[in-house]
A and B are shown apart, each in its own frame.
Chain A
Amino acid sequence: MNINKIVTALLGAFLAKKGIKSIAKKRALNDPKIRNRIKQLQADLDALNNELDKMD
């Protein structure tokens, strides 16, 4: 009975930690400032890729 409780508690803690980490990651990536920077970098990378395409 006690072992069951301990295992359940440990599993609960493990899953809760995983869940929190996962939500935190998603929230961070959806932060407006971060998204703006991603967009800016994407534009820069696209421009560089285009430039390289023109070299062929």
Chain B
Amino acid sequence: MAKGDGAQEKANLQASKQLLDIKITQQEKILDLYVKQGTNQEEIEKRTKRLLNLTNQHAKVQKHLLGLEQDITKEEGKQEKSLFKQVTAAGSILAVTQKMKEAVDFISKTQRDTANSMSVTLSKAAKINKEIAKELKFGMVVNTTRGEILETMNEMDALFRTSNGYSAAQAKTLSVTANKLNISRGEATKLSGMMQLIDGASFESSNSTMVLAKNLADAGNVKFGKVMKDIANSGKDFANFSGMSLKNMIRTAVETRKMGFELNDAMNVANKLLDIEGSIESQMKFNVLTGKQANFDRARALVLEGDMAGALQAVKSEVGDISKLGILERKALEDAVGLRADQLQISNSISDIAATNADNEKAALKAYQEGNTQLAEQLLSKEHATTATEAAANAEENIKMSVAGQLQNQKALKGVMMGIQATQAIIAGLSSVKAIAELTAMSAMTVGIGMVSTLAAVATGAAYLSGAFSKAKAPAMNDGVIGPDGGMMVSGPKGSIQLNKEDSIIAGTNLGGGGGSSSEIGKKLDTMIQLLSQQRTLNVSGAQLSEVMALESVPVGMG
């Protein structure tokens, strides 16, 4: 049954109906003419009776036609619903594959990004991303991101000169600490790394020290961020000069800042005071010019002990009020202690207005020196790493990253991508083959000539796909016999039926003869079987057939 036959048959039906209408009208006119011409009554009655009978039958057919139209409309609705479901299902698959494609794109991008920023291969980048993804779960999803951890890792790489000096977990912890203390990842990494490299501290204790240093700075009303910047600028020189541990240097930075100085100032004072001959000469000159009795011996001793902040404090005490010093006196002061008069004046003013709580400072200093990790954890847990908006953005990215991190295998990804593209092509192909076939069959007037020609071009491409579906077309055969050859399968609207292995099929037109249907052959066979079952013997062309019991077992209704 070729496609489109139903439509053709319906068109034929309508044409026959129209023909019938015309013929009935004609017969009615003829009858009318007979009546007007006065043709004999018997003929008129005969024609009227026949026409009435045919008109009744016509009415019945018309009723059935109407019923048919209604059923076709119903069936159309049913088919439309089913097709819509299919299209929606295909759309859902497309949407899912689109989402998968986006996920794969994201994985590829993050992998390339990690590879570039860490200067590693793609497979190493995949490993790093996977490690980061493992760290970014539960509460951590809001505190930092892959990008921030990578930045920390880069800083650590620069500091340790190797990737073996740290783990992804440490980079994450450091990134979160930097967010919570609101210092840059570079500063946090340098501080933590230097404590590990110079002081021999563990990662955990260096992290705690940073938190406790922030606590110390807070207690002294000093901004921790500024302390960090001071250390970043002068820390290396200061460490070289003083040989001080990082931990002590941080404390010194906090204490000097509290007095209004920076590490660099402390270094200048120390340098000057340790130039003992020059310093003593300048000290005497300063005393002669100002009439003061300044003695920097204690300050010098403190420098030698490594207490820079104490030395600064001692210098300040010895110098006293400097607001009324002249040019030469100020010059002598700078030569003696390495500090300009304005710096000392500012420091004095800061000390006057500073409102600090001595107990708090003492407690904070004690905790810092002891390295109270419990307090450090408590303090850190109270701080927020991100704002609400940042947290939401981080969570979204990290969840995506977590899923992506589990799939970071380039070979597998390429396979997934190819699979997705193939699925999309098949779905798109199936839809367009059907749609194009229908659309190109539409009239150019309905859709527009340009559209039809465009679709025709698309149809050419789609024909390749449709070819794959039409290859399974059944071979044709005229009358003949199909032998068993080890098995026979018959297909039809009710499905495929496996016949007996020994069965043959005889095909032909009008096998019953005389235009009769195959049911007539069945009738003849039934009659023959009936006769045979009664007589038990039969003469056929002179030959006697005995015992034909086997024929009785021919299936009923064979015809």
Seen from chain A, the residues whose Cβ lies within 8 Å of a Cβ on chain B are 15-16, 18-32, 34-35, 37-39, 41-42, 44-46, 48-49, 51-53, 55
> How distant is B238 from chain A, measured CB to nearest CB, in Å?
58
Contact across chains for B10 and A48 when beta carbons are under 8 A apart: no
Contact across chains for A19 and B75 when beta carbons are under 8 A apart: no
Q: How far is B438's CA from A22's CA once the two chains are assembled, in angstroms?
A: 6
Query: Which residues of B lie under 8 Å from residue A27 when comparing CB positions?
Result: 75-76, 79, 83
Contact across chains for B13 and A48 when beta carbons are under 8 A apart: no
> How distant is A50 from chain B, measured CB to nearest CB, in Å?
10
User: B493 at the A/B interface (Cβ < 8 Å)?
Assistant: yes
Query: Which residues of B lie under 8 Å from residue A16 when comparing CB positions?
Result: 87, 435
A41-B61, A55-B47 known; A32+B7 contact, CB < 8 A: no
Binds A, one of B19-27, B467-475, B525-533: B19-27
Query: Which residues of B lie under 8 Å from residue A19 when comparing CB positions?
Result: 434-435, 438-439
A38-B10, A42-B9 known; A24+B79 contact, CB < 8 A: yes
User: B546 at the A/B interface (Cβ < 8 Å)?
Assistant: no
Query: Which residues of A lie under 8 Å from residue B6 when comparing CB positions?
Result: 26, 28-31, 34-35, 38
Known: A26-B3, A34-B71, A52-B27. 4 other contacts (CB 8 A): A15-B447, A16-B435, A22-B439, A27-B76
User: B499 at the A/B interface (Cβ < 8 Å)?
Assistant: no
7 A-B contacts (beta carbon < 8 Å): A16-B435, A20-B83, A20-B84, A38-B13, A42-B12, A42-B16, A46-B16
Query: Which residues of A lie under 8 Å from residue B50 when comparing CB positions?
Result: 51, 55
Q: How far is B1's CA from A38's CA once the two chains are assembled, in angstroms?
A: 15
User: B80 at the A/B interface (Cβ < 8 Å)?
Assistant: yes
> How distant is B164 from chain A, measured CB to nearest CB, in Å?
50
Query: Which residues of A lie under 8 Å from residue B554 when comparing CB positions?
Result: none
Interface of chain B residues 497 through 521 with chain A (CB within 8 A): none
Query: Which residues of B lie under 8 Å from residue A24 when comparing CB positions?
Result: 76-77, 79-80, 83
Query: Which residues of B lie under 8 Å from residue A21 when comparing CB positions?
Result: 76, 80
Query: Which residues of A lie under 8 Å from residue B58 when comparing CB positions?
Result: 48
Seen from chain B, the residues whose Cβ lies within 8 Å of a Cβ on chain A are 1, 3-7, 9-10, 12-13, 16-17, 19-20, 23-24, 27, 47, 50-51, 54, 57-58, 61, 64-65, 68, 71-72, 75-80, 83-84, 87, 434-435, 438-439, 441-442, 447, 493
- Which 5 pairs from chain A and chain B are nearest by CB? A29-B6, A28-B75, A24-B79, A24-B80, A19-B435
Contact across chains for A34 and B75 when beta carbons are under 8 A apart: yes
Query: Which residues of B lie under 8 Å from residue A48 when comparing CB positions?
Result: 20, 54, 57-58, 61
Query: Which residues of A lie under 8 Å from residue B78 when comparing CB positions?
Result: 28
Contact across chains for B75 and A31 when beta carbons are under 8 A apart: yes
Contact across chains for A15 and B12 when beta carbons are under 8 A apart: no
Contact across chains for A26 and B7 when beta carbons are under 8 A apart: yes
Q: How far is B51's CA from A40's CA once the two chains are assembled, in angstroms?
A: 22
Query: Which residues of A lie under 8 Å from residue B61 when comparing CB positions?
Result: 41, 44-45, 48
Contact across chains for A20 and B80 when beta carbons are under 8 A apart: yes
Contact across chains for A25 and B76 when beta carbons are under 8 A apart: yes
A26-B3, A29-B6 known; A15+B439 contact, CB < 8 A: yes
> How distant is A20 from chain B, measured CB to nearest CB, in Å?
5
Query: Which residues of A lie under 8 Å from residue B1 when comparing CB positions?
Result: 30
CB closest residue in chain B, given A28: B75
Partner of B76, one of A28, A42, A46, A53: A28
> How distant is A53 from chain B, measured CB to nearest CB, in Å?
8
Query: Which residues of B lie under 8 Å from residue A31 when comparing CB positions?
Result: 6, 75
CB closest residue in chain A, given B77: A24
Query: Which residues of A lie under 8 Å from residue B439 when comparing CB positions?
Result: 15, 18-19, 22
Query: Which residues of A lie under 8 Å from residue B54 when comparing CB positions?
Result: 48, 51-52, 55
